Amino acid sequence: MKLYNIKDRNEQVNFIQATKQGLGSKQGLFFPVDLPEFNSDKINNILKMNFIDRSYEILSAYIGNEIPVNTLTNCIKNAFSFPVSIKYIDNNIYCMELFHGPTLAFKDFGGRFLAQILSHFIDDEQITILTATSGDTGAAISHAFHGIKNIRVVILYPKNKITLLQEKLFCTIGGNIETLAIKGDFDTCQLLVKMAFNDISLKKSLSLNSANSINISRLLAQICYYFEAVAHLPKKIRDNLVISVPSGNFGNLTAGFLAKSLGLPVKRFIAATNINDTVPRFLENNIWKPKETISTISNAMDVSKPNNWPRIEELFYRKSWQLKDLAYGSVSDETTKLSINALSKLGYISEPHATIAWHLLRSNLKNSEHGIFLGTAHPAKFQEIIEEITGKKIVLPSQLIKYIKLPILSHEIKPKFNALREFLLQ
Ligand SMILES: *Cc1c(COP(=O)(O)O)cnc(C)c1O
């Protein structure tokens, strides 16, 4: 597989290089040179397969023969070791639950696949994974990389801006996992990580790698569950499908469009955000104008400079698609809470992120259409607020209970690059 840097098209790397490197020069994102397409027979065929076999077809179409068949198959099997579940809600709407993995969020798919690929291909090098999290990436990456030889993981997160349960899930692990609480917001954390990658000598001496959703391995892995969703639905509704994606850094939506680019029948996507609405405003008036990030109850979407957006623009350009065909909307905390209650009355307990996608899907869907919204996290991760809103008790899954009693091992550093640099080099 060949990829080019969106900011410097002459810079080309293969899949493993892109995975190891994360970003190209000038912080440019890597993007596939070839965009494979399945014809409708192939699509029908793979929709009949099981999740693992189908995922092999999808990933090998992109990655090509760069990874031996057996290695790729094993990576997929080890990474996707938990189910995707589709629940019917109401009024032609389904939830695709992506939160049944070890850290209860969809980020387990990308994080675990990335860890598999890296652990196969780093040989004897010592590498440092440096990443910023708005809540769920940290957990997915920590668990996926815990105990993997020659990999040090350093995770930055905004102090007091993630839930205690989210924090417990990854700041209690120790070993090769180090966590840094930053006095700032997610964009600050992301900026510090970018600065580290720009520091050539630091990057070299530590072999820095970002496990953010900018990493191509994570993105490719996420294509697979879009196919799984369609495979679960009755055939006759496949051609009238609208998918609503709760979005922060826009990796998930990028993967959805890469699935469509491969040939998955999706009539329309909805870019669903909270009040951090840089993309909805851009789609409305064609002006890119990030504002200060605002903390919300859908904290994993508290992003005002979404890193993956340039990939969506690149893909639309390459496919000659129109951005006006991308539906969008942003939802306030107040409306999110009302919608969590409305869903609860329908007998479905949902957390804030997925609820935003549901809310916008419900208002966007036409009579003849069917809709899927992505369940990106388990409601138990947001236990306190959901119990408060719905008055219903949430049962914590076993994955969480284990970590609640453990002490948080995070270090605190100032939101300054020097402080981060010092920590990394100590
Ligand atoms: C990360 C995350 C999102 C946003 O996904 P992006 O790929 O960054 O757009 C949405 N919901 C939850 C629960 C998340 O953890």
Residue 247 Cβ inside 6 Å of ligand 1? The answer reads yes
Measured distance CA(180)–CA(157) in Å, rounded:
6
Residue 375 Cβ inside 6 Å of ligand 1? The answer reads no
> What are 1's two structure tokens?
């597989």
Question: Ligand 1: which atom is nearest the Cα of residue 303?
Answer: 8
pLDDT score of 324 more than 90: yes
346 Cα to the center of ligand 1, angstroms: 24
> Which of 43-52, 104-113, 370-379, 392-401 is least confident?
392-401
| 162 touches 137 (CB < 8 A) | no
What does pTM read for this prediction? 0.93
Q: Report the pLDDT value the prediction gives residue 177, as an integer from 0 to 100.
A: 97
Measured distance CA(89)–CA(409) in Å, rounded:
40
The band of 167, judged by pLDDT with boundaries at 50, 70 and 90, is very high
Type of residue at 411: H
297 Cα to the center of ligand 1, angstroms: 13
Residue 377 Cβ inside 6 Å of ligand 1? The answer reads yes
Residue 142 Cβ inside 6 Å of ligand 1? The answer reads no
Question: Ligand 1: which atom is nearest the Cα of residue 254?
Answer: 7
Which residues, 6 or more positions from 68, have their beta carbon under 8 angstroms from its beta carbon?
A: none
Q: Which domains does the chain have, with CATH numbers?
A: 83-105+216-395 (3.40.50.1100)
Residue 98 Cβ inside 6 Å of ligand 1? The answer reads no
Angle at 146 between CA 193 and CA 96, to 5 degrees: 80
| 395 touches 252 (CB < 8 A) | no
pLDDT score of 187 more than 90: no
What's the mean per-residue pLDDT of the chain?
94
Residue 107 Cβ inside 6 Å of ligand 1? The answer reads yes
Residue 246 Cβ inside 6 Å of ligand 1? The answer reads yes
Residue 110 Cβ inside 6 Å of ligand 1? The answer reads no
252 Cα to the center of ligand 1, angstroms: 7
Which residues, 6 or more positions from 17, have their beta carbon under 8 angstroms from its beta carbon?
A: none
124 Cα to the center of ligand 1, angstroms: 33
Cβ contacts of 145-150, under 8 Å, gap ≥ 24: 145/111, 145/115, 145/118, 145/176, 145/177, 145/211, 146/173, 146/175, 146/176, 146/177, 147/175, 147/176, 148/115, 148/118, 148/119, 148/176, 149/119, 150/122, 150/124, 150/125, 150/126
Question: Ligand 1: which atom is nearest the Cα of residue 353?
Answer: 11
Measured distance CA(110)–CA(318) in Å, rounded:
24
376 Cα to the center of ligand 1, angstroms: 7
30 Cα to the center of ligand 1, angstroms: 20
Nearest CA to ligand 1 atom 14: 300
Residue 131 Cβ inside 6 Å of ligand 1? The answer reads no
> Which of 132-141, 270-279, 316-325, 383-392 is least confident?
132-141
Measured distance CA(331)–CA(275) in Å, rounded:
6
Name the percent of the chain lying above pLDDT 90: 83
Element (H, E) at 169: helix 164-171
Name the nearest CA neighbour of 129 among 27, 19, 26.
Answer: 19
